[in-house]
Structure 1
Amino acid sequence: MTADAAPQPGPEPLVDQLRAHAGFCTASGAPLYAELMTGMAQDLEAGGPTAEVFAGREHPPVGDVLQLRMLGGLHRVVLTRRAPLLATYYRSVGGEAAPDGAWSVAREVVAAHVDELREALAVPPQTNEPGRAAALAVGLQAAALVHGRTDVRLLEVGASAGLNLNVDRFRVTAADGDPAHVWGPADSPVDLTGSVLGGWPPPVEGLRVVERRGCDLAPVDACSAEGRLRLTSFVWPDHAERHRRLAGALALAAEHPVVVDRADAVAWLRDRLREPAADGVLTVVWHSVFVQYLDDATRSALWSVVDDASVRMPVAHLSLEAPRAPYMGSPTLMLDGAVLGGAPAHGVPLTIAS
């Protein structure tokens, strides 16, 4: 799920949303999007091409984040090499120009692609952050220690493209360089070196993911060109490290594809947990930055499914979520209700709880 915006109730004037989000971008190390959103707000008020793109949707719910939908569409134009001058501002394609003046160039591209960008408003932002795998790796080791089992069946709800289901193929190490705290192959294309701060639980010898599967209401096919483009387009251009992690995870997904079913989380998880795991296998139910998208009844139903299954088989509930309603803010890593640590929305660094 996306980490750059979360659903919030109520419509507001889009021009106000653009200006508020521009400030958030400035604070989040995304100066290009701050510049573009400021320009979009001015252009919307002036009746320019931005107004054509958003025509009829000038007061959307905040949670629709139409600005990110439009910018995702604009990013796809850049990524497919149809806006070479604008690309000079996009770090995601090697651009190095300062963001000042980017909007005047972007406005021309918007004017040339109004219909395409209007269609992009139907595509909700969706990212699949490989950085959250640092929390998953630490959590899997903790679960193996608590439950005394080293073979894991990993089930992820809200899995998006399922990139983090390949967690055992990622490289995760502690910030202090302790060689005892190392996870995954040294040559992994997803390098989360130094991503764990604090007292990492003791390493578990022989931990294996023997089965992996996920679900999402709108899964993205990481093995398709369209899916890769979509995931890449919603990572902000200034966030070079996120782009590197995503590229590595997509390379792994091409080599080791995983199953992500298009399904409702509660029904899917209930069905999976009715399937007994093999002898000696621990089932780990995992989700990250997901529950904020659920209503209270669905959240309660999901917890009940996990609790009911834990009576029948060894089940660990591992999550990286904001700890309380409305489930905004920095996520907390929890195992069976116990706090293991905390992380920013994109996952790194993970700080182990003292």
Structure 2
Amino acid sequence: MIPHEGMQGLNGMAAAMTNSLPVSGGLLSVVMEDISDGGPISRIICDHPDAETPLFGLRVLAGVKLLVLTGQAPELAAHLEDFMSGQTSVDYVERVRRTFRETITEHPDEIWESLHRPVQQHLPSRAGFLLRGLGMLGAKKVRLLELGACAGLTLVPDRYRWFGNDWQWGDENSSVRMPTDGPCPGDINIVERAGCDLSPRDPANELDRMILRSFIPPEREVEQIDLDEALILASKSRVRVDEGDAAEWLGKELLSETESGTTTVVWHTFFWGYLNSEKRSEISEILSAAAKHMKLARISYEPEDWGAVPHLEVTVHP
């Protein structure tokens, strides 16, 4: 059984989804009800070591969606499509809930495997916050290093086309075209870029693409389209994303020299919350040491806590 605090967190997440993500919130509530009743879903998932963590519920939902995407849950796929089209009668909603429950209990091994995957809601739109930070920084030549880079989609803001209030920026021929806020970022040349992740995803690999799609709620159709277009672009761009520990990787990358006049920018989004205090301190110490021999800045777009509104922070290391 999940401890009381873990249950509170999961119930709170389901409640928070009710207005903005009603389908996902409703399906997560099915999981929570089953856990409270000690039902068959609880017997599949509650022994997982991460069961009381804040984002565990999203892993369950992503595991079910992956079954839909891979064609292993055709009945649920059909029900969800009708449900998203506005079929909301009491009988129909109960049918969706029942089919969702059955999908989990009929695929215990696949669901268990999904619980080991980190939550990777890897959206190219988040590169817009990096772009705003780069504009605030004012550096003309940038070496970009991303922690928690996943498939590298937020390492390539210059390969997307951005539309501000009265400006446009980026590759005018890009298939990824997104609105953003703030002033025009100006003249920025990203001369080098790389990232790391404990579980990097290859945008050219079909299963990895479906895993990333599985974390996008069915209500977020526009984000799904942006993700698909960005994955196609990334599969052609082949940005380097290494598998490894963020602190160890960053320490090695910061040992290499850069072109004259280049500012090294360390960037991360929805990453910091996964680290314990020791790892956070280690990364901060690495940055402070590296700043003694290079122009270095850090741009982050992170919430202070899970469920909080993220905020942009730009730090120039002296």
TM-score (norm 1): 0.79
Cα deviation code 1:191-225 (max 9, x no counterpart): 212x215xx1x5423x2212110011222222211
- 1:153-172 paired onto structure 2 within 5 Å: 153-172=143-162
Q: 2:85 aligns with which of 96, 102, 109?
A: 96
- 1:145-160 paired onto structure 2 within 5 Å: 145=138, 147=139, 150-160=140-150
Which residue matches 1:196? 181
Which residue matches 1:5? none
| Greater alpha carbon shift after TM alignment, 44-53 vs 225-234 | 44-53
* Amino acid aligned to 1:222: P
Which residue matches 2:123? 129
Q: Secondary structure at the match of 1:268?
A: helix
- Shift of the 266–13 alpha-carbon distance from structure 1 to 2, 3 Å rule, reads closer
Which residue matches 2:290? 309
- 2:5 maps to 1:34: no
Cα deviation code 1:285-331 (max 9, x no counterpart): 11112212222232222122222222212222211123x5x576222
| Greater alpha carbon shift after TM alignment, 114-123 vs 157-166 | 114-123
Higher helix share: 2
Q: CA deviation at 1:183?
A: 1.6
Q: CA deviation at 1:254?
A: 0.9
Does the aligned pair in 2 maintain the 1:89–1:98 contact within 8 Å? Answer: no
How far apart are the structure 2 equivalents of 1:82 and 1:328?
Answer: 31
Does the aligned pair in 1 maintain the 2:300–2:313 contact within 8 Å? Answer: yes
How far apart are the structure 2 equivalents of 1:311 and 1:96?
Answer: 57
Unaligned runs of at least 5 residues, structure 2: none
* Amino acid aligned to 2:186: V
- 2:235 maps to 1:244: no
Q: 2:170 aligns with which of 180, 184, 200?
A: 184
How far apart are the structure 1 equivalents of 2:284 and 2:7?
Answer: 39
How far apart are the structure 1 equivalents of 2:26 and 2:284?
Answer: 42
* Amino acid aligned to 1:171: R
* Amino acid aligned to 1:284: V
- 1:310-325 paired onto structure 2 within 5 Å: 310-322=291-303
Does the aligned pair in 2 maintain the 1:13–1:58 contact within 8 Å? Answer: no
Q: Secondary structure at the match of 2:195?
A: strand
Unaligned runs of at least 5 residues, structure 1: 1-9, 339-354
- 2:245 maps to 1:264: yes
Q: CA RMSD in A?
A: 2.7
How far apart are the structure 2 equivalents of 1:196 and 1:18?
Answer: 32
* Amino acid aligned to 1:196: D
Q: 2:312 aligns with which of 333, 340, 351?
A: 333
Which residue matches 1:109? 103
* Amino acid aligned to 1:288: T
* Amino acid aligned to 2:56: L
TM-score (norm 2): 0.87
Which residue matches 2:65? 75
Q: Secondary structure at the match of 1:62?
A: coil
Cα deviation code 1:65-114 (max 9, x no counterpart): 433222211101111123233213446x9952546232022223223223
- Shift of the 269–327 alpha-carbon distance from structure 1 to 2, 3 Å rule, reads farther
How far apart are the structure 1 equivalents of 2:50 and 2:291?
Answer: 45
Q: 1:12 aligns with which of 4, 17, 27?
A: 4
How far apart are the structure 2 equivalents of 1:59 and 1:260?
Answer: 26
Q: CA deviation at 1:13?
A: 7.0
Q: CA deviation at 1:233?
A: 0.6
